[in-house]
Structure 1
């Protein structure tokens, strides 16, 4: 049973997906019998997401390839997720930085991708592919990336053994 005091629950949920409506909806269903049920409830509450909620959530994410500034659980998680991209590569990192700038100019928000399980090269390739999306199509891809990040973070923040990460 995942029975966490409400303030701590809300803090962890906010780190998983920084959307106030989503946090309220998922917290209202607590306690959860297990992480799988929590993740399913999180996915359900995050489907669909509005464009305003996408913007609300993206505000909690640093640019891919850049160090997270500040403190807090969400930033610590972002740093850990991006550290898994492998060793720095000047050429690939420069391509990501250029792609980030083009993406922000084209779509008006930070490029968002689930970094966990990907290499720098895969991120760079995906960034280039997504630059060809229509704005509506890209918003939907970004929302799906948010859902994937949220699911991974819930599994990290609510481990089966009960010890918070």
Structure 2
């Protein structure tokens, strides 16, 4: 199956999880309970591409309240201790604070396709650009970035699901997030 290459048993294991465990694992990818419930309820998926397509469709169908709850689950990135003294990270922390005050949720941006050395610049530029948005425009952009983040997280989740080990929210998050989607490592 095309979507399962490099996923030894990951999708098979995901498809076999009890409903509650599958929803818990999916909520590590997107904080919306409705989204996670819908994806878990429509298993089994024949391949990763089918799961990702279903995730996209479910994301597009989120209500404003579901999107707001999912955004509320997103955390501000944790910065490395040494970064706290960097001018760029100081600017990042300040921009995050302004964004959160203006829009009421953490800034979300998917950096999956950005080279690690360019991620901080891309993040700062995105933050600065999006601070000029009105509430509705930013809601739409944040929902799209949340959808893109969920796709990457699902891919990592499925690829990292070990066969034979129970999945909990903690192990799913640790296994699917080898790096922060926000801050370069």
TM range (shorter): 0.7 to 0.9
Q: Deviations over 1:109-157 (max 9, x none)?
A: 2111124344111100100000011110000000001100100011111
Aligned residues: 146
Distance (Å, rounded) in 1 between the aligned partners of 2:61 and 2:128: 25
Larger CA deviation: 96-105 vs 46-55: 46-55
Larger CA deviation: 44-53 vs 91-100: 44-53
Tell me which residue corresponds to 1:70: none
Contact 1:34–1:160 (Cα < 8 Å) also in 2: no
Higher RCO, Cα 8 Å, sep 6+: 2
TM-score, structure 2 normalization? 0.70
Larger radius of gyration: 2
Tell me which residue corresponds to 1:76: none
**Pairwise CA RMSD of aligned residues?**
2.3
Which SS does the other structure have where 2:138 is aligned? helix
CA displacement at 1:161 relative to structure 2: 8.5
Q: Where do 5+ consecutive residues of structure 2 fail to align?
A: 1-10, 164-171, 176-185
Contact 1:113–1:145 (Cα < 8 Å) also in 2: yes
Distance (Å, rounded) in 2 between the aligned partners of 1:9 and 1:93: 36
Contact 2:31–2:74 (Cα < 8 Å) also in 1: no
Displaced runs of 4 or more, over 2 A: 1-4, 48-51, 115-118, 160-165
